């Protein structure tokens, strides 16, 4: 089960060309078994994914932005937002350090957005309404192609993972640059572990799907897809969910210093982010125009934060641990890996994203020229990969595989 991926997602194909996808959910706590789990990748990712050209099938080239949690040791894990591109010649992954407390599971609202660039066929990635990167290897989108948007939970090692309910709200931008919700008729539900409490098909005597090998899912809808709720119970009875007070969206940790930046009323945006971020595109003056023309629309979330991962490790990530994790994640034998300590220069070489809080951290860089699946889910293999991990927390900060490492 080391690389088997399970999904609890809602897939929307709006039936018309899509040039943007927007989603919001809160930073909920994700828990891992506090025991050693050798040879098993245990992680949970809540993601917004766009497949711009669906002619390649269900696993065509795509781009996604997500909240990712991964088990890094017997009692340690990392947590935070990232984005990933799966292209024709390989792929890339980047951790996101910008934002208001991005690595804290404190119930704060965050927004995730993918926007097709005005010229060409590449996409911009935005987090909390600020630009954090752009794709370089997406396929040309044929006129009239309806695209596909996926939102929801992806899990590896489900026997070790507990994910409380995540409420995902999603919209798409049509070619007229207006935001809409997809029709329920154009939305499919996928729960590859099965839905908790439902009968397993073709099983005699009858059995029901039970934790930890099941999802809880609910699509809130009328004629429109409004919200996708998904969770994955753990191997033992889940602890009581956090109280409303615990998960109440805190006040922004950074008070806007300027009232209007790039045409956006920052005070109005801060209030909207704290209370109802899915309404900000309509209710915050200047925001819709800003995200199409500027890289910074939310000053409170623009400054990189320190302390990327929470909870932090009790000891630094050592070479042997990083080597083993890289071998498991990228499907390459340990003796085919080269690992070396790196720092600011290594991050700069890998990343095309803005300068971030991890740019001056001590890091480990792992490289290989062997065949690898990268961080792919498409069943493809590529030649070689490069990945950089935080030496303090063990978090994967940047990665590339295949010819994408040459860009």
Instruction: Give CA–CA dist 31/70, Å, rounded.
Output: 9
What the block records as the tokens of 15 is 């039936």
Instruction: Give CA–CA dist 317/395, Å, rounded.
Output: 9
| Helix (H), strand (E), coil (C) string for the chain | CCCCCEEEEEEECCCCCEEEEEEEEECCCCEECCCCCCCCCCEEEEEEEEECCHHHCCCCCEEEEEEEEEECCCCCEEEEEEEEEECCCEEEEEECCCCCCCCCCCCCEEEEEEEECCCCCCEEEEECCEEEEECCCCCCCCCCCCCEEEEEEEEECHHHEEEEEEEEEEEEEECCCCEECCEHHHEEEEECCCECCCECCCCCCCCECCCCCCEEEEEEECCEEEEEEEEECCCCCCCCCCCHHHHCCCCCCCCCCCCEECCEEHHHHHHHHHHCHHHHHHHCCCHHHHHHHCCCCCHHHCCCCCCCCCCCCCCCCCHHHHHHHHHHHHCCCHHHCEEEEECHHHHHHHCCCCCCCCCCCCEEEEEEEEEECCCCCCCCCEEEEEEEEECCCCCEEEEEEEHHHHC
Return the minimum-mean-pLDDT range out of 173-187, 209-223, 331-345: 331-345
How confident is the model at residue 120, as a pLDDT? 81
What the block records as the tokens of 292 is 């199409």
Q: What are the CA-CA distances from residue 69 to residues 45, 161, 320 (Å)?
A: 6, 10, 21
Backbone angles phi, psi at 183, to 5 degrees: -70, 140
pLDDT tens figures, 269-296: 999 999 999 999 999 999 999 998 999 9
What the block records as the tokens of 166 is 């995540």
Confidence of residue 203 (pLDDT cuts 50, 70, 90): confident
Instruction: Give CA–CA dist 79/105, Å, rounded.
Output: 8
User: Do the Cβ atoms of 358 and 308 come closer than 8 Å?
Assistant: yes
How large is the average pLDDT for residues 310-324?
71
The yes-or-no verdict on residue 300 having pLDDT over 80 is yes
pLDDT tens figures, 343-363: 654 444 444 444 444 455 799
Specify the length of the chain in residues. Answer: 407
What the block records as the tokens of 147 is 């695209």
> pTM for the full model?
0.89
The yes-or-no verdict on residue 254 having pLDDT over 60 is no
Confidence of residue 245 (pLDDT cuts 50, 70, 90): very low
Return the minimum-mean-pLDDT range out of 14-18, 100-104, 263-267, 316-320: 316-320
The yes-or-no verdict on residue 1 having pLDDT over 50 is no
The yes-or-no verdict on residue 310 having pLDDT over 50 is no
How confident is the model at residue 240, as a pLDDT? 52
What the block records as the tokens of 242 is 């956090």
Q: What are the CA-CA distances from residue 246 to residues 24, 29, 250, 310, 402 (Å)?
A: 19, 11, 9, 17, 43
């Amino acid at each position: 089960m080391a690389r088997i991926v399970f999904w609890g997602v809602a897939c929307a194909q709006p039936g018309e060309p899509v040039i943007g996808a927007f989603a919001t959910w809160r930073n909920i706590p994700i828990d891992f078994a506090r025991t050693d789990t050798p040879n098993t990748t245990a992680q949970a990712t809540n993601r917004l994914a766009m497949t711009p050209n669906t002619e390649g099938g269900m696993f065509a080239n795509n781009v996604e932005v997500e909240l990712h949690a991964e088990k890094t040791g017997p009692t340690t894990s990392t947590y935070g937002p990232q984005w990933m591109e799966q292209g024709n010649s390989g792929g890339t992954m980047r951790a996101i350090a910008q934002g208001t407390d991005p690595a804290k599971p404190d119930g704060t609202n965050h927004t995730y957005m993918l926007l097709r660039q005005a010229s060409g066929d590449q996409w911009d990635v935005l987090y909390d309404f600020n630009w954090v990167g752009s794709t370089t290897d997406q396929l040309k989108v044929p006129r009239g192609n309806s695209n596909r948007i996926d939102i929801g939970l992806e899990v590896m090692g489900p026997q070790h993972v507990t994910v409380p309910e995540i409420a995902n709200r999603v919209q798409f931008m049509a070619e007229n640059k207006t935001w809409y919700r997809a029709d329920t008729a154009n939305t499919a539900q996928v729960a590859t572990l099965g839905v908790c409490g439902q009968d397993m098909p073709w099983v005699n005597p009858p059995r029901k799907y039970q934790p930890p090998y099941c999802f809880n899912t609910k699509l809130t809808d009328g004629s429109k897809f409004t919200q996708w709720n998904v969770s994955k119970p753990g191997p033992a009875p889940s602890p009581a969910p956090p109280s409303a007070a615990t998960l109440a969206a805190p006040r922004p940790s950074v008070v806007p210093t300027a009232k209007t930046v790039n045409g956006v009323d920052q005070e109005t945006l801060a209030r909207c982010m704290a209370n109802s971020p899915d309404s900000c595109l309509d209710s915050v003056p200047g925001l819709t125009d800003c995200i199409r023309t500027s890289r910074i629309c939310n000053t409170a979330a623009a400054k990189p934060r320190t302390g990327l991962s929470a909870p932090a490790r009790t000891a630094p990530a050592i070479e042997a641990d990083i080597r083993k994790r890289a071998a498991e994640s990228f499907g390459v034998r340990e003796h085919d890996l080269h690992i070396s300590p790196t720092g600011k220069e290594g991050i700069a070489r890998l990343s095309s994203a803005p300068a971030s809080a991890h740019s001056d951290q001590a890091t480990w860089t792992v490289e290989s020229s062997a065949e690898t699946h990268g961080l792919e889910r498409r069943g493809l293999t590529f030649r070689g990969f490069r990945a950089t991990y935080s030496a303090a927390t063990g978090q994967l900060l940047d990665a590339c595989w295949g010819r994408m490492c040459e860009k």
